[in-house]
Structure formats: structure tokens, C-alpha cells
Amino acid sequence: MSKPIAVVTGGAGFIGSHMVDLLLDRGYRVRVVDNLSGGRRDNLAHHAGNPDLECRWADIRGLEHDDAIFSGARYVFHFAGIGDIVPSIERPVEYMDVNVQGTVRVLECARHAGVAKLVYAASSSCYGLADTPTREDHPIAPQYPYALSKYQGEQAAFHWHKVYGLPVNAICIFNAYGTRVRTTGAYGAVFGVFFRQKLAGKPFTVVGDGTQRRDFIYASDVARAFLAAAETDIVGERFNVGAGDPQPVNRLVALLGGEVVYVPKRPGEPDCTHADITKIRTRLGWEPTVPFEEGVARMAARIEDWKDAPLWDPASIAVATKTWFEHLGRQG
């Protein structure tokens, strides 16, 4: 009996590579599409020589509806896209092009291939400054173009489900973290910032007073949620994925150990993100399994992975977030 085929867009990226790990472990043949703008070949290097893994280094915006890489696929897991807040404020057209039109290209490929399910990587940023814990039916209120582009990509996915009958589910990811977490030239994810600062012996740049809480969820747990959303008979649903146990940024600082310097709190950021995960627990039987302390320890054991990440300090952060304050501050 031949192995089932899964396509992972953005499969060389942070969460995408964890998805590839899980699928190969579960006996799938995996085809990756990634243009390496955010992903890295090294994220998949431990699978070198595996005949069940095929990689194409290409941009999703160049996909044609009959692309052979989707042929015979049972599932498509769509992670490909661009992230970060500040670049989305500065380059909104690019974000709409990649995260919306690129998604439409993937949807068309999945539709013409007749896949059994496409699972879209949605973002909890669509909820904006949300009430907590946040349910899937919370009002949508994107605060910046990245959030808007991810939500419009999700809307497109559900529209393809409604109009064309493409079986779709969406996983709305809260604050994912773990090994291989993305680091770029843009000021962004707290883990990459802090690990690089610790390697350099520099103070951690904590936003505000550090009491803000984030619903951190480990990447391998996220991957299991995506597989559950693919293998279920349920279609046309969004499922929140978080640990359901928000952690203060100060707790991360305490686990890592080191001096702290504080930088101004930023507009458009919630004091707390907290996923209500009742729906995915009850309907898909999914549970988070990696405690926060264990997840941080796993990352700390590989701290050298962040040696080439950007090294931030209060002055460089102020320059990098100037656009953020300028545009999001006017929202009041």
C-alpha cells in the first residue's frame, strides 16, 4: 500500500518544518514548497536522504493550478507567507500579495488536485486587542496589515470551501515558539531577541514592565493540531491553538536568567493573549503536551542556533519600531 502524500507550503520554515517532522514520523510522503525567504534548508537537514521528502524551492505566487507537486496529495498544510508587524506596515502591498494572492494560488492547486483537506495557518492577530480567553467567534479587529492579510487569506480559504467545495479547516495559532523559531533582520519574536542577547551577555530588552502575558504554544503541539484538523471528518471550521495558560514575559526572563532593560510599550499590542481551546479539545481531542518550562529548556539546549540572529538594544529597537509607533499610535 502506497504512503499518503502531504504538501507543506513553507515547509522549511519554523512551524512548517515541525509539520514535516510529524508527517514523516506518521508515515506520509511529504512535498515541501518554500522560497526560503523565511525558511532555511538547515531546518530540514536532519531528513537528508529521506526518499519520502521532496523539496521545491519556489514561490507560491508562481504556482499554476495544475502544478504536479500537488498531484495525488491527500492533504495540504498551508504555512507559506510573510510575517512581522513593522515590515507589514512599511510594505503592505507585498503582504497582501504573498499572504492573500499567494494563498489563492495554493487554494487553486489544492482544488484542481482534489485534495481531501487543506489546513490553513491562521493568526490570532486577527482578533486584535481581544477579550480573553478568546473564542473562535470573537469579533475580528486586525491592528496592522500583517494581521489583515492573514485574515483575508483565511477568508479566501473558507470562500473556496463555500463556492468550490474545497474541504478546508483553519488553525488559528496564538504565540508559537520552539526550536527553529524564525529570526530575521526585522525586530520581532521575543525568543530570538532574548536568546541572541543572552549569547552576547547583553540585557534582555523587555517591553513595558514585562507583566504582559502571552499564550505560548510549542511548535510540535501546533503541528499535531494541524494533523488533527486534516484527519478529522469536520470541515469548514476554525480552531484556536494555544496552551490556554498565558505566561508573563517576566517568567521567560526568569527561566533564562540575566539582566533586564525596559523599552516602551507599543500600541496595538494586547496586554494578554489567551486562547480558549475548548473547541479543539472537544471536537478534535487535541491537547497541548509541552509545558512552558520544558519548551524553553529545549530551546536553551540549542541556544547556539541563535548566534547569527540580530542583536537588539534599546536604541536599535527604537529605530526599528518608529514606524510602528507612528502608524499604530494614531489608532488610539
Residues with a known catalytic role? 146
Q: In what order do the strands lie in the sheet with 29-33?
A: 53-56, 29-33, 5-9, 75-78, 117-123, 168-173, 237-241
Chain CA centroid to CA 22, Å:
16
Q: Which residue has the cell 494614531?
A: 330
Contact 170, 118 (CB under 8 A): no
Cα dihedral: 205, 42, 147, 119 (round 10):
-140
Contact 6, 75 (CB under 8 A): yes
Contact 247, 296 (CB under 8 A): no
Residue count of the chain, please give it.
332
Task: Collect all residues with Cβ–Cβ distance below 8 Å to 115 and sequence separation of at least 6.
Answer: 7, 70, 73, 74, 75, 76, 166, 167
Phi-psi region of 178 (alpha: psi -120 to 50; beta: other; left: phi over 0): left
Amino acid identity at 319? V
What does each C-alpha distance from 180 to 98, 186, 203, 320 come to in angstroms? 22, 16, 22, 23
Of the candidates 253, 180, 172, the residue with the CA atom closest to the CA atom of residue 215: 172
